[in-house]
Amino acid sequence: MVQGVKHFKLGYKTDIGAFTYINATHGVTIEDYVQVGSHCSIYSISTIGHKIGRVILREGCCVGSHSVILPGIIIGRNAIVGAGAVVTKNVPPNTTVVGVPAKKINA
């Protein structure tokens, strides 16, 4: 489900799993070849802390099932977000993050 669809940009050959919620009210861009697992939540606005910001999932990144991406986050090219992670900070390219809050691991 996408809320705020006029601010949502979807790239080529992306895969978004079932039951994923995307709030694109303030902008969400999903670039080419991105995979988003099922039951994920991507927010460009949060009522807790009143945070607002565009979310960008760069080319080739993967977001594991049941993950949450908060407003203003950029997931770098070819980065991996482990299942169930809560992403509160930008994820650099070619990096793997896991946990709550998501933190870099050596993979």
Q: What is the pLDDT of residues 48-71, one digit of tens each?
A: 878 999 999 999 999 999 999 999
Say what the pTM is.
0.95
Give residue 49's pLDDT: 79
Convert the pLDDT of each residue in 9-46 to its tens digit.
999 999 999 999 999 999 999 999 999 999 999 999 99
Strands 74-75 and 96-98 turn out to be: unpaired
CATH number of the domain bearing residue 52: 2.160.10.10
Residue 79: both structure tokens together: 């980065």
Supply the range of the domain harboring residue 92. Answer: 2-105
Active site residue 50: yes
Distance separating alpha carbons of residues 94 and 79, to the nearest angstrom: 4
**pLDDT tier, 91 (very low <50, low <70, confident <90, very high otherwise):** very high
- What is the count of structural domains for the chain? 1
Distance separating alpha carbons of residues 40 and 37, to the nearest angstrom: 6
Question: Which member of 7, 26, 39, 50 is catalytic?
Answer: 50
85: Cα separation from own chain's centroid: 10
Q: If you count DSSP H runs as helices and E runs as strands, how many of each does the chain have, helices first?
A: 0, 15
Distance separating alpha carbons of residues 55 and 84, to the nearest angstrom: 18
